[in-house]
Structure 1
Amino acid sequence: MSTSSIQATELPPAGNNDTTPDVVDGLAFAKLYGEPLFKLPNDLYIPPDALEIFLEAFEGPLDLLLYLIRKQNFNILDIPMAQVTQQYLQYVDQIRKHNLELAAEYLLMAAMLIEIKSRMLVPSNKTQEGEEADDPRAALVRRLLEYEQMKLAAYELNAMPQLGRDFLHAQVFIEQNTVLHWPQVDLNDLKQAWADVLKRAKLVAHHKISREELSVREHMSSILRRLQDHKFVEFSELFDPSRGAPVVVVNFVALLELAKETLIEITQAESFAPIYVRLAYAPV
């Protein structure tokens, strides 16, 4: 990124020997403080501090350091600290001449680079377990990788379309008519509405539960009377599903009570064969 700024001072009137035309093809040469300049000045003076050129603009020390590494295709996991530190200090010397406050942040990173470089020159001592000591560059490499990931993510977010920058909401003026137009109701629509009302009415129907007294003893007596007339009765024939689930349940409980009191026998000829019920034989 290159930026430049030029400041010019106000000049005295040119001499009588100036042969520069006042106007060239009807256009002015330049503008000075907003006024058109139709004559070239005899002496153009530019102060030394008026022209400033920044070859690269960085967002911080990590950005500069990452730029130096990527520009020269260095392995970020094996940074040559001597070369990178030297190049970094050269850039810091340049910005210190123009902006001391900006250079303070970069000087802190420069001190860290010098410290890492000096630690690498000292022979590394092994730990008590016999392992190699940690690389002094490990913390710096981790910070650089994290910064690079965040920077790439920021570029991807910036590339996404943004409201107000890349596109605008479409606005269309629609004239509204104040006259109301009621829709036409068809006969089929009326029938469908009535069917929906009936459907909702069925959903709120009440269910009444009545109490019915059922006696287990009565069902036990009924089963014994039925077995007296038959030698064997199939298990399913002792139940009448048409009388409802409560009666069937009580009848089954009565059957279990009879078997418990050994008044009946429940037999089966083989596996998966029909189950039969008969009266138990009384001992002689």
Structure 2
Amino acid sequence: MASAVRDLELDLDAFEGPFDLLLTLILKEQLEPAEIDIAAIVVAFVQRLSRPTPLGREGREEIDLDACGEFLVLIAALLEIKARQLFPEEGAELAELEPEEAAEELARRLAEYRRMKEAATWLRERLQGELERYFRLGPAPLAPRAERRLAAQDPQGLATALRGLAVPPPKVSLSHMALRFPPVAQFLERFRAVLRRRRVFDFDGEVAGLSRVEQAVAFLALLELRKAGEVALAQAAPFAPIRVSRDEQERMTQWTVRSA
């Protein structure tokens, strides 16, 4: 397995020799990673795998998965080194490592890969050992069946419960939700009485303390008086107090009668 990767012969523009020597030169900083053609290394390894190999148990050519895994780890580490050197801010951490430390980092990754490979082998062996075991989703056929027993029933209590369900529920009262509107005529007489005592009054002050419904009805009464020509309305600005006064024509008629 090891020789299949480390003894891989490479013929690159910047290097010629085994893959193991290439990694050693890069780790010792005797060869720039930017000068290495990663694609050419992958192509060389694929060509190495395409060579005829012994037939497996099923008559098919077997691929050395161990060599493929180790090659992936090594080529990934080489790609990381090359990618980090393309960016100065990312290569600062790598520049602080000594060649021995870089070699230890690569060895650590290989060891981690081997641990994962051993775990995969253990899982595969465990699966092979459990192939002849089967499990049942339902209960066992010889298991005793549980008997369903009803508790003691009280016919009289059942009849009482059914009679209670037969009684129609009381009608829900909605009287509290009804809105009671006072008559408009009530406010018509109220405003007329105020105008008989005063020439001008403030609508907001007159309806202060009333509910919103009563204020709305009072405003409708005010519009009725304005429509009938009994009052004149004035407002200095939007949302300003509404000033209510007797209509000018009505005041002129009263002044003419008094003058006569």
Higher helix share: 2
What's the TM-score bracket when you normalise by the shorter of the two chains? 0.3 to 0.5
Task: Give the structure-2-normalised TM-score.
Answer: 0.34
